[in-house]
A and B are shown apart, each in its own frame.
Chain A
Amino acid sequence: MTAEEQELLIEQVAGAWRPEGDDELHYHKAWHDLDAAGRARAYELARALRPLEAALDPDGLSTTARAVLAKIRT
């Protein structure tokens, strides 16, 4: 995997989307393709992105919070 391919996987894993499924936990498929350093970087990027998202949201909610609320309402 090239460094650029790794970065694009990290960008996907840092997002809040996770697949739907019958079981409880739904990993992002790209997470499995990352090595430990890539997973740690995806975590840190998500941690940095969420406050930014919340700042741009009219209700101050990150995409993680919005995803959780959507699951409650469905």
Chain B
Amino acid sequence: MDLDVYHPMIAAGDTVAFGRWLAGAEPTVRLTLRSFATVIDVEAVLQESLLRVWQVAPRFVPDGRENGLLRLAIRIGRNLAVSEVRRTKARPADPIDEREPEAPEPAVSDPLLRKQIADCRDKLPGKPREALDARLAAAGGEDDDALAASLNMRLNTFLQNFTRARKLLADCLKRAGISLDAELGS
């Protein structure tokens, strides 16, 4: 799918359209920052990069190739990551790939997979489900200390419950024949 279909609406200030673009673009942009993961906080760089895409979108001129805005996001993310590496004088574990990135196909949502994941979430025991739901509801807006306090848990207890939730989800999905990323269950 060419995510540039959302560009005219994004340029006009439509945050719903930008959300749809984000849903498709985020995994790819994150993946292109992998080689920086040991020397910069990729989540922080990624969020700032995506925010900058929103800011420059009204001035973005497509070059005729698919996913131009996604390729721009990848360039912004990489440039920001390189700036951070220079600023902190860190040395990435892997060589930085300086080539112009090819935009991979954006992620596609699978309704059946979504339903299965929701079914497995519904089977979680109380405390792990509370921890998972709190993280989802906060949507990156509150830190884990605040989320733990809201559930009357100590921070470590909250985090242990969250860990348990993702492992139980991974087990449930595995039993349903769905193999997600191995990281979820480890």
Residue from the list B23, B42, B117, B180 in contact with A61, Cβ < 8 A: B23
Please name all residues of chain B whose beta carbon is closer than 8 Å to the beta carbon of A59 when the two chains form the complex.
19, 23
Contacts A49-B184, A50-B30, A52-B184 known; list 20 others, CB within 8 Å.
A11-B159, A17-B142, A18-B140, A25-B84, A39-B38, A41-B183, A47-B34, A47-B181, A48-B181, A48-B184, A51-B180, A55-B117, A63-B136, A64-B30, A65-B19, A65-B50, A68-B50, A68-B51, A70-B139, A72-B18
Please name all residues of chain B whose beta carbon is closer than 8 Å to the beta carbon of A8 when the two chains form the complex.
155-156, 159-160
Residue from the list A18, A45, A57, A71 in contact with B136, Cβ < 8 A: A57
Instruction: Closest B residue to A53 by CB, please name it.
Output: B136
Instruction: Closest B residue to A74 by CB, please name it.
Output: B141
Pair A43/B166 contact, Cβ less than 8 Å:
no
Please name all residues of chain B whose beta carbon is closer than 8 Å to the beta carbon of A73 when the two chains form the complex.
15
Size category of the B interface is: 35 or more
A22 within 8 A of B: no
Pair A18/B43 contact, Cβ less than 8 Å:
yes
Report whether over half of chain A's contact residues are helix, strand or loop; otherwise say mixed.
helix
Closest-CB distance, A39 to chain B (whole angstroms): 5
Assembled-state Cα–Cα distance A11/B167 (Å): 12
19 contacts between A and B (CB under 8 A): A8-B155, A11-B144, A15-B140, A17-B138, A17-B141, A18-B47, A19-B143, A25-B45, A25-B48, A31-B41, A47-B34, A48-B184, A51-B181, A55-B113, A61-B19, A64-B26, A65-B22, A68-B51, A69-B15
Interface residues of A (CB under 8 A from B): 7-8, 11-19, 24-28, 31, 36, 39-57, 59-73
Pair B18/A46 contact, Cβ less than 8 Å:
no
Please name all residues of chain B whose beta carbon is closer than 8 Å to the beta carbon of A61 when the two chains form the complex.
19, 22-23
Interface code B9-46, partner A: CB below 8 Å = 1, 0 otherwise?
00000010011101100110011001001110111111
Assembled-state Cα–Cα distance A14/B159 (Å): 11
Assembled-state Cα–Cα distance A45/B159 (Å): 14
Please name all residues of chain B whose beta carbon is closer than 8 Å to the beta carbon of A13 when the two chains form the complex.
41, 43
B61 within 8 A of A: no
Assembled-state Cα–Cα distance A60/B160 (Å): 26
Closest-CB distance, B44 to chain A (whole angstroms): 5
Instruction: Closest A residue to B52 by CB, please name it.
Output: A24
Closest-CB distance, B90 to chain A (whole angstroms): 10
